[in-house]
């Protein structure tokens, strides 16, 4: 019997065929359809190969936890989007005092608030912690503080942007430079900010450890000196990972309706939004004014795009080594509530954990275990978010 989901998909395929004729060979899925569930097929290049993990809840009681920093063995810092920084030691969670007022915007969900947390690479010596959040003026800022005796000390804002952010992840380049992403708030419709180098919306920034502008940052057309902007034309980068062996910065980026991307971030690169996307606007219309060929010549196309066949909403980005599958990129899928792995060499996308909740952040610990940070689920209550350690169960 045809399920309601496949019936809906049938209707959509028909609608799209009228729109683009015979060019489109695969059907797109509607946002509420999850490939691999309820008879909805997985698109080509995506496989379900879940791994057998045992899980241990390290801490719970979170609402929309956003990122993790690992301090030491059993010590963590976790941000809560709605305005908290939580310190966890031996399973006990303590909300830290000393954060300024932070703000979110509520659309269909909450956006902004407290997002990326990251330790300075020399944290063991200097105890410096970095935090990206949206302040009382609705601007994304980066602050740093020293974390001593389980307290926030010497809190200072070191970078003030001129725009809101949907998602801000921090990744260190070396001991003195870091990157921070800033998602464009152009919802429900895209705004021109990401293409405008005078606006901080839709950018990846690169800053010195004290928040000042590196002298070797790009100088864009019409400007006489470098700014914080390293790359532009981003919609919403919520995952950053630097491959330190090869000095390559990778980013996961949210598309609108589909169009999620994995990008290689290059100095002064334009990543196309909102002039081009492999996804569609929320009303189903084509994004922007550029064809793919034009976008290819004027901007940098994604290393990987899942088009409209596999809507991920990727949060976080790590590269992990897992004995049975080797080295893969891993991130959470908010919309599918899964843990996703991607193999660069083969281009294969693998669902390695299904029905786990909205995974916001992922980290691999030195012993190989994975940490995942998961939103509260409506069915489990508003404070059912959790930090979980996953240990691969060796096959018999």
Nearer to Ca ion, 193 or 272 (CB): 272
The string of DSSP letters for 172-228 reads: ESSSSEEEEEE-----SS--SGGG-TTS-TTEEEEEETTSPPPTTS---TT-SS--S
Question: Quick count: other Cβ atoms within 10 Å of Cβ 392?
Answer: 16
Rounded to a whole number of angstroms, the minimum distance from the CB of residue 295 to Ca ion is: 8
Give the residues across from 177 on adjacent strands.
208
Q: Return the range that interacts with Ca ion (CB under 5 A); candidates 90-98, 174-182, 268-276, 379-387.
A: 268-276
Measured CA distances, 305 to 186, 252, 308, 309, 313 (Å): 21, 10, 9, 10, 12
Our finding on whether 272 is near Ca ion (CB under 5 A) is yes
Give the ranges where 21-180 is alpha helix by DSSP (H).
Answer: 123-126
Nearer to Ca ion, 98 or 192 (CB): 192
Rounded to a whole number of angstroms, the minimum distance from the CB of residue 105 to Ca ion is: 23
Nearer to Ca ion, 122 or 248 (CB): 248
Structure tokens of 366?
A: 């030195």
Q: Return the range that interacts with Ca ion (CB under 5 A); candidates 5-13, 112-120, 267-275, 335-343.
A: 267-275
Rounded to a whole number of angstroms, the minimum distance from the CB of residue 97 to Ca ion is: 40
Our finding on whether 186 is near Ca ion (CB under 5 A) is no
Structure tokens of 359?
A: 């995974």
Rounded to a whole number of angstroms, the minimum distance from the CB of residue 261 to Ca ion is: 5
Q: Binding residues for Ca ion, how many (CB under 5 A)?
A: 2
**From the list 271, 310, 331, 342, which residue makes contact with Ca ion (rule: CB under 5 A)?**
271
Q: Return the range that interacts with Ca ion (CB under 5 A); candidates 58-66, 100-108, 184-192, 266-274.
A: 266-274
Rounded to a whole number of angstroms, the minimum distance from the CB of residue 192 to Ca ion is: 15
Nearer to Ca ion, 177 or 304 (CB): 304
Our finding on whether 62 is near Ca ion (CB under 5 A) is no
Rounded to a whole number of angstroms, the minimum distance from the CB of residue 271 to Ca ion is: 4
In angstroms, rounded to a whole number, what is the distance separating the alpha carbons of residues 210 and 225? 19
Rg (CA), the chain: 21
Nearer to Ca ion, 159 or 232 (CB): 232
Rounded to a whole number of angstroms, the minimum distance from the CB of residue 71 to Ca ion is: 34
Contacts 24+ apart (CB under 8 A), 242-249: 242/171, 242/172, 242/173, 242/179, 243/319, 249/171, 249/173, 249/179, 249/204
List residues binding Ca ion (CB under 5 A). 271-272
């Amino acid at each position: 019997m045809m399920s309601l989901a496949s019936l809906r998909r049938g209707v959509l395929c028909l609608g799209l065929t009228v729109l683009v004729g015979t060019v489109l060979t695969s059907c797109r899925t509607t946002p509420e359809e999850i490939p691999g569930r309820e008879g909805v097929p997985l698109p080509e290049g995506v496989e379900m190969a879940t791994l057998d993990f045992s899980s241990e809840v390290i801490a719970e009681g979170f609402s929309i936890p956003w990122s993790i920093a690992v301090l030491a063995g059993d010590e963590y810092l976790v941000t809560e989007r709605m305005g908290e920084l939580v310190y966890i030691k031996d399973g006990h969670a303590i909300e830290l005092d000393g954060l300024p007022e932070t703000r979110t915007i509520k659309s269909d969900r909450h956006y902004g608030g407290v997002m990326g947390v990251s330790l300075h690479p020399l944290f063991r010596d200097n105890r410096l912690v970095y935090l990206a959040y949206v302040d009382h003026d609705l601007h994304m800022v980066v602050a740093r503080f020293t974390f001593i005796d389980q307290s926030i000390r010497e809190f200072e804002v070191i970078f003030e942007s001129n725009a809101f952010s949907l998602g801000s992840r921090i990744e260190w380049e070396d001991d003195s430079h870091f990157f921070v992403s800033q998602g464009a708030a152009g919802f429900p419709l895209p705004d021109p900010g990401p293409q405008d180098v005078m606006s901080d919306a839709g950018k990846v920034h690169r800053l010195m450890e004290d928040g000042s502008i590196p002298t070797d940052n790009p100088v864009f057309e019409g400007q006489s000196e470098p700014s914080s902007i390293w790359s532009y034309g981003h919609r919403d980068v919520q995952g950053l990972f630097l491959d330190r062996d090869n000095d390559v910065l990778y980013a996961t980026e949210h598309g609108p309706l589909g169009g999620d991307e994995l990008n290689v971030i290059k100095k002064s690169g334009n990543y196309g939004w909102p002039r081009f996307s492999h996804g569609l606007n929320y009303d189903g219309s084509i994004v922007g004014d550029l064809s793919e060929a034009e976008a290819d010549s004027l901007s940098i196309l994604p290393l990987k795009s899942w088009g409209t066949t596999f809507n991920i909403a990727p949060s976080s980005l790590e590269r992990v080594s897992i004995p049975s599958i080797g080295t893969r990129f891993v991130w959470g899928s908010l919309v599918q509530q899964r843990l996703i792995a991607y193999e660069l060499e083969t281009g294969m996308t693998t669902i390695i954990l299904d029905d786990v909740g909205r995974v916001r952040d992922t980290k691999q610990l030195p012993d190989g275990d994975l940490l995942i940070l998961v939103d509260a689920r409506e069915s489990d209550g508003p404070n059912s978010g959790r930090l979980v350690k996953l240990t691969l169960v060796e096959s018999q």
